[in-house]
C-alpha cells in the first residue's frame, strides 16, 4: 500500500545454505479453527495430545497448545518443555493461533470488532515472550522424527523434551521454514514441544504488520499461525519435490514435465536409494547412490522418462477461460526395498507471461491468451485466524464479482488458500509488504528500520521458503519482490537467487509501484492511487490512477457498510457521530492521520446528493455513491483494455475485503454483507456488458467471454427524474470478438433538449433473439464533477465542483411488489427466488431496488450470492432475482426477503 509520496509448503535449497535450519514441508495445512465471519469470541479447542503416526513420509500437525505469558511462568524452560508439566491456569489455543486470538477464543476480552473494545486490551501483556506448549505421542522410535514449521511471529526458542533445539536467532521471520531433526530426543510415549515466542514489532522484524489497513491488534499478531508438523521417515529423506512444466503455446498440444526432488542420506554410512514416482499413469524410477549424509538432486525429464512428455495435456485456466484440472506427483524413496520416505505434490500446467508493452505497462497472458487483470487486495482476519469456509466464501464472492485476481501484499496465506485459488481458477499476486521492516532499507522516511547484517539471510530464507511453497500452484502468476519501493541490488540478488534455486516459473515483478530494480528492471506497474474519494469520471482520464497501465492498488476510499452491519460494529453514539460529524476521527477507518476521518467522502456525498437527514439517509446515499464509483472504476479499465495507445492492463481494487469491521477499502464487509460497492463491481464485470463512458458519452459493449458475439442491439434512453423520456436511440447489428473486446455502439449527444440537471440513463443490450442480456442504469448530471489535477496528492485528486445529483431527492415514491419462494437442494444449499415489480401507475422508475435475504428476526442470511441485485425498474417492469446460500445459515428459520430502494418503501415478504 502506498502511504506517502514516493520519493516514494516448502523451503528451497538456497535457504538451507544460509544455516537457518530451513527445509521443506510436504503436508497441507490441517483443518480450520477459531472464528469465521462472525466477530464474537468462540471457544478454543483444548490442547489435546497429538498422536503421531509412524508411517514413513507421514506428517502430523500438532492439534493445539496451551499458552501463557512468561511474566506468569517462573519454572525453567526445561521444566516447561518436559512431559507431565501441569500448565495450570494456561489458556488452550488452536493449532494456528496468535496469542490474542487464543485469549479472544477463551472469552478474556469483549468482541474487539465492536466499537472501541480493542482499545481496552492492554498492550503491555504482549511485550514479553509467551510460551506455547504441546504434547504428542509416538508409538515407536524406529523411524526418524523431525519438527517442521513456519509461521512463527516473530521469533522463538524451541524446546523438545526439556532440551533447546533452536534459538531465536535461528527461528526468526514469519515466513522462514524450519526442519529440526529431533530423532535423538523423541521417546516412545508422550513427548513435549514448546516454543518461547518473542513479541512482534513489524517495524523492526521481517514479519507481518497492518500498515494503515485497520487498527493493529494489541499483540501485533505474535504467535504461531501455521501448522507445526511432526514428520517421520527412514534413512533417506525426500525433500523439495516439485514439477517444472513447459507448455507448448499457442497450440497447447503438448507439455514437458521435469520432476525434481532432493534425496538426503540421514545416516553415517553410504546407502543406495531407489526413487520412484508417478504422474497420472506415467511412472519413472532411478537408483541413487548416496554417501554418508549426502544430499543429491534427483531429476526425471522427458529425455529419460518419455512419459513425462504429455500429449494433449489438461491445461489449467483462470475461471471463465477454461477448466482448472490439476495433476498429482507421488514420489517414494526406498532403501533395500523398504519405503523410507514419500511425498505428494499437486500441480497445474499453464504458461504465464507478463512482458512490458509499448507504454511500459505489464501485460499478463495465460496460455497465450492476453487478459486484463481485474482484482482486489486481500486481507486476512485481523488476528490471523484461519477459517477455510470463511476464506472459501470470500473467494466465491470474487468469482461472483467477475474478478480474476487477488493480490496479497504480505500476509501470505497458508497452503489451503492457494489450493482453493487453484480449484476456483482465481489468479493470485503474492508479494512482500510495504511500510515496515520489509522495505526499511529502501523506504526513504517511512517507519521501517534499516536492515542489519542479520536481516539479509532471514529475507533470503523467507523468499526461498515462499517460492518453494507456491511454485506448483497454477493460480500464482507472479511474485512482487517489492511493494511501494523496489529492493536495492543486494536484496534483489538474494531474492532472485532464492527464486532461481526454487525453479520459480512465473514473472518476478520489482515492485507494485512505478519503480525499477537493478536486475529485474521496470515493474511495469503504477501505484498512483487514489485511496480516498474521487468522482466517477476520474477513472476515465489516462493519468494518475485513471484507466491506463497496471494499477496495483486503487479505489475511491470509503466503503460504508449496510445499516445491518453498522449496527453490529458501532455503538448508537458512534452511529450518530458517523453521519453528523465528518471531521471526527473514525476508529473503524484507519490509524493513519491521512485516512482517519470521512471528511472528503462526506463532503462529496453532501455536495453531490445533498446533506444527509439521518443515519438511514446517510447510508442510503452512501450505497448509491459507492455503486456508481466502483462500477466506473472497473468499467473504465474494461473499456480501455484494448486501446491502441496507453491501454489498461490491470486494476486491483483497494481493497477486496477488510480484516475487521471497517468503513473503508472493501467490496464486502466483515460479515460478508453486500452493498453498493459490491453490486457496482458485479455489474461492471458481467460477462457481456453494456456501459456508459463518463468522459465522451459513448455507449460501449464489452465482451468478457471467450466466444465472440453478434446480432446485438444496444439501446440508450434518457429520462428526467420524474420519469419523462427525453432521448431514445438504438444501434442494431452490434458485433464484437471475445476476451475483453469492446465496441462503441453509439454516442449520446452532448446536449439534449428538456433534460433536467439530474437525469437517468437506461442502457439495454439484447441478443439476436431479443432477449435482454445486460441492463445498466446511471444517474447523471448536466454539470459534471470538476477535478483539480494540478493539486493531486498521492492519496486523491481534489474536486473543485460536484456533479448535481440532488434531483434524485425529488423522485416520487413508487410502489414495488415482491413475491418469493424457496427450494432446498440435496447438497445443503437453498435457493430463494424473488420477483420484484414496479407497480406504479406513473412514469417514475424505482431506483436501485435492493433485495436482502433475512431470517425471521430480520437478520441478514450470509453469505449469499445473488444473480443480480440493486436493480432499477420502470413502471410495469419486473425481474426475478435468485439468492443461493447454505440452508444451515437460516438456523432453522424460514427465509424472508426484505425489499427497499432509493425511492421505494421498505417491505419484507415471506419466502416459503
Measure Cα distances from 832 to 147, 562, 695, 866 in Å. Answer: 49, 21, 39, 9
Task: For residue range 743-787, list pLDDT tens digits in order.
Answer: 999 999 999 999 999 999 999 999 999 999 999 999 999 999 999
**Does pLDDT of 23 surpass 50?**
no
How far apart, in whole angstroms, are the C-alpha atoms of residue 871 and residue 878?
10
Give the DSSP H or E segment for 563: helix 563-569
Res 447: pLDDT: 85
258: β partners: 244
Res 15: pLDDT: 35
Residues in the chain: 912
* Number of Cβ within a 10 Å radius of residue 801: 12
Res 47: pLDDT: 59
- Tell me what the mean pLDDT of segment 276-303 comes to: 97
Nearest to 152 by CA among 21, 346, 328: 21
Using DSSP, state whether 220 is helix, strand or coil. Answer: coil
In the numeric block, which cell numbers belong to residue 397? 464472492
**C-beta separation of 531 from 654 below 8 A:** yes
Q: What is the share, in percent, of the chain residues with pLDDT greater than 70? A: 95
- Quote the pTM value: 0.93
- The DSSP symbol for 476 reads B
Task: For residue 391, report the phi and psi dihedrals to the nearest 5 degrees.
Answer: -65, -45
- Tell me what the mean pLDDT of segment 611-629 comes to: 97
* CA angle centred on 224, ends 510 and 387, rounded to 5°: 85
Q: What is the share, in percent, of the chain residues with pLDDT greater than 90? A: 94
**Does pLDDT of 793 surpass 50?**
yes
Task: For residue range 80-125, list pLDDT tens digits in order.
Answer: 999 999 999 999 999 999 999 999 999 999 999 999 999 999 999 9
Nearest to 608 by CA among 797, 783, 776: 783
Res 34: pLDDT: 32
Task: For residue range 138-173, list pLDDT tens digits in order.
Answer: 999 999 999 999 999 999 999 999 999 999 999 999
Q: How many CA atoms lie within 13 A of 95 on its CB side?
A: 22
Q: What residue has cell string 440508450?
A: 716
In the numeric block, which cell numbers belong to residue 472? 506448483
Using DSSP, state whether 636 is helix, strand or coil. Answer: helix
**C-beta separation of 585 from 596 below 8 A:** yes
Q: Indicate the range of 52-56, 209-213, 440-444, 636-640 predicted with least confidence.
A: 440-444
pLDDT band at 446 (very low <50, low <70, confident <90, very high): confident
pLDDT band at 1 (very low <50, low <70, confident <90, very high): low
- Tell me what the mean pLDDT of segment 615-641 comes to: 98
Res 3: pLDDT: 42
**C-beta separation of 765 from 688 below 8 A:** yes
Task: For residue range 387-432, list pLDDT tens digits in order.
Answer: 999 999 999 999 999 999 999 999 999 999 999 999 999 999 999 9
By DSSP bridging, strand 846-854 and strand 786-787 are unpaired
- Residue 17 makes CB contacts below 8 A (sequence gap 6+) with none
How far apart, in whole angstroms, are the C-alpha atoms of residue 896 and residue 822?
9
In the numeric block, which cell numbers belong to residue 422? 487453484
**C-beta separation of 259 from 238 below 8 A:** no
Res 445: pLDDT: 79
For 291, counting Cβ atoms within 10 Å of its Cβ (0-12 exposed, 13-18 middle, 19+ buried), the class is exposed
Task: For residue 697, report the phi and psi dihedrals to the nearest 5 degrees.
Answer: 65, 15
In the numeric block, which cell numbers belong to residue 712? 446485438
* Active site residues per annotation: 484, 553
**C-beta separation of 899 from 818 below 8 A:** yes
How far apart, in whole angstroms, are the C-alpha atoms of residue 460 and residue 263?
23
Handedness of CA 492, 655, 698, 804 (dihedral sign): negative
How far apart, in whole angstroms, are the C-alpha atoms of residue 93 and residue 625?
43
Task: For residue range 322-331, list pLDDT tens digits in order.
Answer: 999 999 999 9
In the numeric block, which cell numbers belong to residue 168? 531465536
For 449, counting Cβ atoms within 10 Å of its Cβ (0-12 exposed, 13-18 middle, 19+ buried), the class is middle
Task: For residue range 646-694, list pLDDT tens digits in order.
Answer: 999 999 999 999 999 999 999 999 999 999 999 999 999 999 999 999 9
**DSSP assignment string, 395-408:** HHHHHHTT--EEEE
In the numeric block, which cell numbers belong to residue 481? 519482490
**Does pLDDT of 41 surpass 60?**
no
- Tell me what the mean pLDDT of segment 597-614 comes to: 97
- The DSSP symbol for 44 reads P
pLDDT band at 287 (very low <50, low <70, confident <90, very high): very high
Handedness of CA 358, 360, 364, 368 (dihedral sign): positive
pLDDT band at 896 (very low <50, low <70, confident <90, very high): very high
On average, the pLDDT of the chain sits at: 93
How would you classify residue 669: left for phi > 0, otherwise alpha for psi between -120 and 50, otherwise beta? Answer: beta
**Does pLDDT of 46 surpass 60?**
no
- Residue 751 makes CB contacts below 8 A (sequence gap 6+) with none
Extract the runs of DSSP E, i.e. beta strands, from 49-174. Answer: 50-52, 59-61, 65-69, 91-93, 97-98, 130-138, 144-149, 152-153, 156-160, 163-166
**Does pLDDT of 459 surpass 70?**
yes
Using DSSP, state whether 499 is helix, strand or coil. Answer: helix
In the numeric block, which cell numbers belong to residue 814? 413508487
Amino acid at each position: 500500500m502506498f502511504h506517502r509520496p514516493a520519493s516514494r509448503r516448502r523451503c528451497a535449497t538456497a535457504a538451507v545454505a544460509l544455516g537457518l535450519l530451513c527445509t521443506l514441508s510436504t503436508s497441507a495445512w490441517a483443518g480450520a479453527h477459531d472464528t469465521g465471519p462472525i466477530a464474537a469470541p468462540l471457544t478454543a479447542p483444548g490442547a489435546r495430545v497429538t498422536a503421531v503416526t509412524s508411517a514413513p513420509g507421514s506428517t502430523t500437525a500438532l492439534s493445539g497448545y496451551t499458552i501463557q505469558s512468561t511474566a506468569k511462568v517462573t519454572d525453567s524452560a526445561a521444566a516447561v518443555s518436559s512431559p507431565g508439566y501441569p500448565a495450570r491456569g494456561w489458556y488452550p489455543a488452536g493449532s494456528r493461533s496468535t496469542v490474542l486470538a487464543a485469549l479472544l477464543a477463551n472469552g478474556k476480552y469483549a468482541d474487539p470488532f465492536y466499537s472501541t473494545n480493542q482499545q481496552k486490551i492492554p498492550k503491555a501483556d504482549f511485550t514479553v515472550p509467551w510460551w506455547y506448549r504441546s504434547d504428542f505421542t509416538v508409538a515407536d522410535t524406529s523411524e526418524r522424527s523431525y519438527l517442521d514449521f513456519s509461521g512463527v511471529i516473530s521469533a522463538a526458542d524451541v524446546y523438545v523434551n526439556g532440551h533447546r533445539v533452536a534459538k531465536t536467532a535461528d527461528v526468526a521471520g514469519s515466513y522462514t521454514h524450519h526442519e529440526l531433526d529431533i530423532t535423538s530426543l523423541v521417546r516412545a510415549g508422550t513427548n513435549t514441544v514448546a516454543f518461547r515466542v518473542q513479541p512482534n514489532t513489524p517495524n523492526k522484524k521481517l514479519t507481518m504488520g497492518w500498515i494503515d489497513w485497520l487498527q493493529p491488534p494489541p499483540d501485533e499478531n505474535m504467535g504461531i499461525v501455521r501448522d507445526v508438523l511432526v514428520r517421520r521417515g527412514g534413512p533417506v529423506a525426500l525433500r523439495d519435490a516439485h514439477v517444472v512444466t513447459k507448455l507448448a503455446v499457442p497450440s497447447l498440444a503438448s507439455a514437458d514435465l521435469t520432476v525434481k526432488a532432493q534425496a538426503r542420506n540421514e545416516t553415517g554410512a553410504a546407502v543406495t536409494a531407489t526413487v520412484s514416482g508417478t504422474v497420472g499413469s506415467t511412472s519413472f524410477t532411478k537408483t541413487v547412490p548416496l554417501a554418508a549424509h549426502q544430499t543429491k538432486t534427483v531429476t526425471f525429464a522427458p529425455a529419460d522418462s518419455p512419459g513425462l512428455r504429455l500429449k494433449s495435456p489438461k491445461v489449467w485456466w483462470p475461471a471463465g477461460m477454461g477448466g482448472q484440472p490439476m495433476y498429482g506427483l507421488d514420489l517414494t524413496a526406498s532403501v533395500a526395498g523398504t519405503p523410507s520416505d514419500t511425498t505428494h505434490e499437486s500441480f497445474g500446467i499453464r504458461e504465464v507471461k507478463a512482458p512490458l508493452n509499448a507504454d511500459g505497462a505489464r501485460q499478463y497472458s495465460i496460455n497465450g491468451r492476453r487478459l486484463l487483470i481485474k482484482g482486489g487486495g486481500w486481507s486476512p482476519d485481523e488476528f490471523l485466524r484461519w477459517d477455510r469456509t470463511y476464506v472459501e466464501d470470500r473467494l466465491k464472492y470474487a468469482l461472483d464479482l467477475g474478478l480474476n485476481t487477488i493480490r496479497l501484499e504480505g500476509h501470505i496465506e497458508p497452503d489451503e488458500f492457494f489450493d482453493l485459488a487453484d480449484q476456483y481458477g482465481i489468479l493470485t499476486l503474492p508479494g512482500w509488504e510495504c511500510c515496515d521492516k520489509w522495505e526499511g532499507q529502501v523506504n526513504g522516511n517511512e517507519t521501517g528500520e534499516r536492515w542489519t547484517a542479520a536481516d539479509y539471510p532471514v529475507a533470503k530464507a523467507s523468499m526461498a521458503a515462499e517460492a518453494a511453497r507456491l511454485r506448483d500452484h497454477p493460480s500464482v502468476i507472479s511474485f512482487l519482490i517489492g511493494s511501494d519501493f523496489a529492493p536495492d541490488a543486494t536484496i534483489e540478488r538474494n531474492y532472485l537467487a532464492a527464486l532461481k534455486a526454487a525453479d520459480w516459473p512465473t514473472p518476478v515483478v520489482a515492485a507494485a509501484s512505478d519503480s525499477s530494480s537493478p536486475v529485474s528492471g521496470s515493474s511495469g506497474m503504477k501505484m498512483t492511487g487514489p485511496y480516498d474519494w474521487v468522482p466517477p469520471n476520474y477513472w476515465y482520464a489516462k493519468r494518475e490512477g485513471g484507466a491506463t497501465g497496471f494499477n496495483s492498488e486503487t479505489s475511491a476510499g470509503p466503503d460504508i457498510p449496510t445499516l445491518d452491519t453498522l449496527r453490529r460494529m458501532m455503538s448508537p453514539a458512534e452511529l450518530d457521530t458517523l453521519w453528523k460529524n465528518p471531521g471526527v476521527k473514525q476508529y473503524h477507518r484507519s490509524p493513519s492521520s491521512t485516512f482517519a476521518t470521512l471528511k472528503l467522502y462526506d463532503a462529496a456525498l453532501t455536495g453531490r446528493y445533498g446533506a444527509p437527514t439521518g443515519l438511514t439517509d446517510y447510508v442510503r446515499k452512501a450505497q448509491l455513491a459507492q455503486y456508481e464509483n466502483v462500477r466506473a472504476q472497473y468499467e473504465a479499465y474494461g473499456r480501455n483494455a484494448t486501446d491502441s495507445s496507453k491501454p489498461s492492463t490491470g486494476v486491483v481494487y483497494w481493497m477486496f475485503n477488510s480484516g475487521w469491521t471497517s468503513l473503508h477499502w472493501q467490496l464486502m464487509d466483515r460479515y460478508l454483507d453486500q452493498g453498493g460497492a459490491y453490486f457496482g463491481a458485479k455489474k461492471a464485470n458481467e460477462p457481456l456488458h453494456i456501459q456508459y463512458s463518463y468522459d465522451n458519452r459513448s455507449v460501449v459493449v464489452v465482451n468478457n467471454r471467450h466466444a465472440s458475439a453478434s446480432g446485438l442491439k444496444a439501446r440508450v434512453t434518457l429520462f428526467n427524474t420524474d420519469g419523462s423520456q427525453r432521448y431514445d436511440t438504438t444501434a442494431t447489428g452490434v458485433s464484437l470478438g471475445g476476451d475483453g473486446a469492446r465496441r462503441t455502439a453509439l454516442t449520446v449527444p452532448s446536449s439534449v433538449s428538456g433534460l433536467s440537471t439530474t437525469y437517468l440513463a437506461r442502457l439495454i443490450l439484447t441478443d439476436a433473439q431479443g432477449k435482454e442480456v445486460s441492463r445498466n442504469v446511471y444517474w447523471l448530471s448536466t454539470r459534471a464533477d470538476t477535478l483539480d489535477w494540478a493539486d493531486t496528492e498521492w492519496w486523491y485528486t481534489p474536486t473543485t465542483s460536484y456533479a448535481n445529483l440532488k434531483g434524485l431527492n425529488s423522485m416520487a415514491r413508487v410502489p414495488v411488489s415482491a413475491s418469493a419462494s424457496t427450494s432446498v437442494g440435496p447438497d445443503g444449499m437453498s435457493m430463494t427466488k424473488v420477483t420484484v415489480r414496479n407497480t406504479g401507475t406513473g412514469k417514475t422508475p424505482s431506483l436501485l431496488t435492493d433485495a436482502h435475504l433475512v431470517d425471521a428476526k430480520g437478520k441478514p442470511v450470509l453469505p449469499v450470492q445473488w444473480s443480480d441485485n440493486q436493480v432499477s425498474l420502470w413502471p410495469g417492469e419486473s425481474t426475478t432475482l435468485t439468492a443461493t446460500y447454505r440452508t444451515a445459515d437460516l438456523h432453522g428459520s424460514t427465509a424472508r426477503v426484505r425489499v427497499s430502494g432509493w425511492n421505494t418503501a421498505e417491505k419484507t415478504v415471506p419466502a416459503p
